[in-house]
């Protein structure tokens, strides 16, 4: 071992005494004190993962995570982040580097930054999402590994971060594997990279990890006061700590004392609360204060601010009730892809553009498929008055009998709920999409459903089922998962995967006393391609398909909403037809550039009629 390696060995031994740990997800990161680590990161493409394994495929202690520099002319170091190209983060490597368009594998990212310690503050390194597997290092010390490409994770790095210059390195791997969630095959682009914001969040020594507000349903319509359930937890198990809630507009200031787990729970009574709805997306300014009033005798009390909407969501027979009133969900499915050129959407501007197209269609609801979208999307939809179905990527043929796969799915479900549990517009947690029937699948999904309810009993549970057969033009939905969901949702593609002329002949039987959402229907068209209505890929074909489908859907008993597939064309490596698809799924009502196809107007007109019918 040469002197350089010996130095690395000493550094590694010393760093082992430092403490770092993955900590529970911080709620409401956007409103916390933080330093952005977004911007240019150096990156190294590592096809054979030589920066992680030696030539015998054993993990190497001399990997790229050390960010090594030769100390003498003869020292051998075969990488240099400082000479490597840079990539803007958050982003995806597929659209930022044309050589990596189809690449699936490992890319290393490095960011150097300066840090000034603040007395009494903890430092939490937060990632909004990394696709798919992330192994994170700070100053050469491994912080941990996170699996799952669409949910946040964070590490307490207080004892590792240094005064002055620091560096964070992330090994990102987006290879597809059978046991992953999602699994090996899926119909969207596998955008690799650090795809969402990276922050260094600064908290007090004692801080609120997360909290929850939910409006209780009325037990008596004549009640003068409404009740809000409130809960919160500290990062430490500290008893008799005060957490106060302030909602000035509702004249609320109420204190709660933590139990021996560092948790509080209770009820806040309010009068004349204005309920959040698509027509009136009312949000209240809320503050959570550790220790009581923000300043008592000159002492600063830590606060956390948010904007919270209050509403109820429930089902009654075949109806969905928002704030006690039936609602028809005029929806559209959306992938988390940028308008105008593809790539992973990750900004407020992306969210506003996509949602503006949905609103132009007449939507009051969106299905964010097939994974949790970024927080900007959910919050912007809340401000715009758009309800949300949020989903984890349990998609197609998951490894149902693999315990690690179930644990992974549960973790993604937990993280999705933890991040968005206070968003009034999120009304449905979806646990799966188009999964094949079978005992192993039902055991897997039933556990996910029960777990979701244990985490959040205030929202509806659903999943996108499949219609597997239609005998003599009669569709009967039969799925043993019906008893585990609140809303019966299914995908059907009459007109695309079977003859559109079958649509007028179809009858539907949904033998469950629950609301029905048709979570997908539609077909593809290339914008600007015109022809006869029986000519596939033309706008006229798609237009006729939508015309026949909405007429058919009107006959479904208990229909409470639809989310046709999909808002805009999106990238998919499964779509290989040259000159027509060109690696795009063309089922969008908009082109990727926001141009409306003729089917858009069919759907818009139908939604205008539904809006009048459900006033």
Domain for residue 102, yes or no?
yes
Query: Residues 290, 324: one domain?
Result: no
Name which of 428, 346, 295, 324 is nearest 96 in CA terms.
346
Name which of 549, 551, 531 is nearest 541 in CA terms.
531
Distance, CA of 474 to CA of 198 (rounded, Å):
51
Q: In this predicted model, what pLDDT tens digit does every residue of 400-432 receive, in sequence order?
A: 999 999 999 999 999 999 999 999 999 999 999
Query: Residues 419, 302: one domain?
Result: no
- Parent domain of 447: 314-613
Name which of 206, 348, 232 is nearest 286 in CA terms.
232
Distance, CA of 448 to CA of 227 (rounded, Å):
29
As beta bridge partners, residue 215 has: 228
Query: Residues 295, 429: one domain?
Result: no
Q: Is 229 helix (H, G, I), strand (E, B) or coil?
A: strand
Query: Residues 346, 440: one domain?
Result: yes
Domain final residue pick, 197, 226, 243: 197
- Cα distances (Å, whole numbers) of residue 268 to 18, 163, 234, 272: 43, 43, 19, 13
> Binning pLDDT at 50, 70 and 90, where does residue 9 land?
very low
Average pLDDT over residues 223-243: 94
Query: Residues 191, 171: one domain?
Result: yes
Query: Residues 274, 375: one domain?
Result: no
Domain for residue 81, yes or no?
yes
Cβ neighbours around 582 below 10 Å, total:
12
Query: Residues 590, 513: one domain?
Result: yes
Q: Is 361 helix (H, G, I), strand (E, B) or coil?
A: helix
Give the model's pLDDT for residue 4: 44
Domain final residue pick, 311, 334, 350: 311
Are the C-beta atoms of 194 and 172 separated by less than 8 Å?
yes
- pTM across the whole model: 0.94
Query: Residues 285, 327: one domain?
Result: no
Query: Residues 277, 389: one domain?
Result: no
The DSSP 8-state label assigned to residue 59 in this structure reads B
Query: Residues 324, 295: one domain?
Result: no
Task: Tell me the angle at which helices 598-613 and 348-361 cross, rounded to the nearest 10 degrees.
Answer: 70
Domain final residue pick, 162, 197, 232: 197
Give the model's pLDDT for residue 222: 72
Tokens of 128: 């909004």
Query: Residues 302, 344: one domain?
Result: no
Q: What is the mean pLDDT of the chain?
A: 94
Domain for residue 206, yes or no?
no
Give the model's pLDDT for residue 297: 64
Distance, CA of 1 to CA of 406 (rounded, Å):
43
Query: Residues 234, 346: one domain?
Result: no
Domain for residue 205, yes or no?
no
Domain for residue 203, yes or no?
no
**Cis previous bond, 488, omega within 30:** no
Domain for residue 208, yes or no?
no
Q: In this predicted model, what pLDDT tens digit does every residue of 490-546 receive, in sequence order?
A: 999 999 988 888 889 888 989 999 999 999 999 999 999 999 999 999 999 999 999
Task: Give the domain CATH number at 361.
Answer: 3.20.20.80
Domain for residue 207, yes or no?
no
* Weakest mean pLDDT among 221-235, 240-254, 347-361, 587-601: 221-235
Q: In this predicted model, what pLDDT tens digit does every residue of 14-40 receive, in sequence order?
A: 344 455 678 999 999 999 999 999 999
Q: 73 Cβ partners below 8 Å, 6+ apart?
A: none
Q: In this predicted model, what pLDDT tens digit does every residue of 241-273 receive, in sequence order?
A: 999 999 999 999 999 999 999 999 999 999 999
Distance, CA of 385 to CA of 311 (rounded, Å):
12
Task: Give the domain CATH number at 137.
Answer: 2.60.120.260
Q: In this predicted model, what pLDDT tens digit does every residue of 293-337 receive, in sequence order?
A: 776 666 667 789 999 999 999 999 999 999 999 999 999 999 999
Number of domains in the chain: 3
Average pLDDT over residues 157-168: 97
């Amino acid at each position: 071992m040469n002197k350089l390696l010996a130095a690395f060995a000493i550094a590694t031994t010393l760093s082992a005494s430092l403490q770092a740990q993955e900590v529970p997800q911080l709620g409401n990161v956007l409103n916390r004190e933080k330093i952005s680590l977004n911007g240019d990161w150096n990156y190294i493409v590592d096809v054979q993962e030589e920066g992680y394994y030696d030539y015998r495929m054993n993990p190497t202690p001399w990997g790229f995570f050390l960010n090594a520099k030769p100390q003498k002319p003869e020292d051998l170091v075969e990488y240099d982040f400082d000479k490597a190209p840079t990539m803007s983060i958050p982003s995806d490597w597929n659209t930022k580097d044309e050589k990596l368009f189809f690449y699936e594998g490992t890319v290393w990212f490095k960011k150097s930054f300066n840090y000034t310690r603040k007395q009494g503050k903890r430092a939490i390194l937060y990632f909004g999402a990394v696709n798919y597997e992330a192994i994170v290092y700070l100053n050469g010390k491994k912080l941990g590994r996170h699996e799952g490409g669409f949910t946040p994770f964070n590490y307490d790095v207080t004892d590792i971060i240094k005064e002055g210059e620091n560096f964070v390195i992330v090994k990102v791997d987006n290879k597809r594997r059978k046991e992953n969630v999602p699994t090996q095959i899926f119909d969207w682009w596998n955008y690799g990279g650090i795809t969402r914001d990276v922050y260094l969040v600064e908290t007090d020594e004692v801080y609120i990890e997360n909290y929850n507000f939910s409006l209780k349903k009325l037990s008596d319509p004549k009640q003068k006061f409404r009740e809000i359930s409130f809960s919160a937890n500290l990062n430490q198990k500290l008893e008799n700590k005060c957490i106060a809630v302030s909602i000035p507009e509702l004249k609320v200031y109420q204190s709660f004392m933590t139990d021996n787990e560092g948790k509080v729970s209770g009820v806040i009574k309010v009068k004349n609360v204005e309920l959040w709805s698509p027509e009136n997306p009312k949000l209240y300014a809320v503050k959570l204060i550790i220790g009581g009033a923000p300043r008592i005798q000159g002492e600063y009390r830590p606060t956390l601010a948010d904007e919270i909407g209050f509403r109820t969501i429930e089902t009654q027979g075949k109806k969905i009730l928002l704030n006690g009133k039936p609602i028809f969900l005029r929806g559209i499915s959306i992938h988390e892809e940028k308008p105008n050129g593809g790539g992973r959407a990750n900004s407020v501007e992306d969210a506003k553009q996509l949602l503006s197209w949905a609103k132009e269609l007449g939507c009051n609801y969106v299905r964010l498929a097939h994974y949790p979208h970024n927080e900007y999307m959910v919050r912007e939809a809340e401000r715009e008055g758009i309800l949300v179905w949020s989903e984890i990527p349990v998609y197609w043929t998951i490894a149902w009998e693999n315990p690690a796969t179930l644990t992974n799915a549960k973790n993604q479900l937990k993280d999705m709920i933890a991040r968005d549990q206070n968003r009034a517009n999120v009304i449905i947690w979806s646990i799966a999409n188009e999964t094949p029937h079978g005992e192993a699948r039902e055991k897997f999904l039933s556990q996910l459903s029960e777990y979701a309810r244990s985490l959040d009993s205030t929202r509806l549970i659903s999943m996108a089922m499949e219609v597997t057969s239609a005998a003599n033009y009669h569709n009967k939905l039969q799925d043993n998962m019906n008893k585990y969901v609140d809303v019966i949702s299914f995908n059907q593609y009459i007109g695309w995967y079977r003859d559109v002329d079958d649509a007028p002949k179809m009858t539907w039987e949904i033998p469950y006393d629950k609301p029905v959402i048709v979570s997908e229907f539609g077909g593809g068209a290339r914008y600007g391609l015109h022809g006869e209505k029986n000519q596939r890929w033309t706008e006229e074909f798609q237009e006729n398909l939508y015309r026949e489908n909405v007429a058919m859907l009107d006959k479904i008993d208990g229909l409470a909403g639809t989310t046709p597939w999909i808002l805009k064309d999106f990238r998919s490596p499964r779509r290989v037809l040259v000159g027509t698809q060109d690696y795009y799924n063309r089922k969008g009502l908009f082109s990727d550039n926001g141009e409306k196809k003729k089917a858009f107007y069919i759907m818009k007109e139908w939604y205008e009629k539904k809006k009048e019918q459900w006033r």
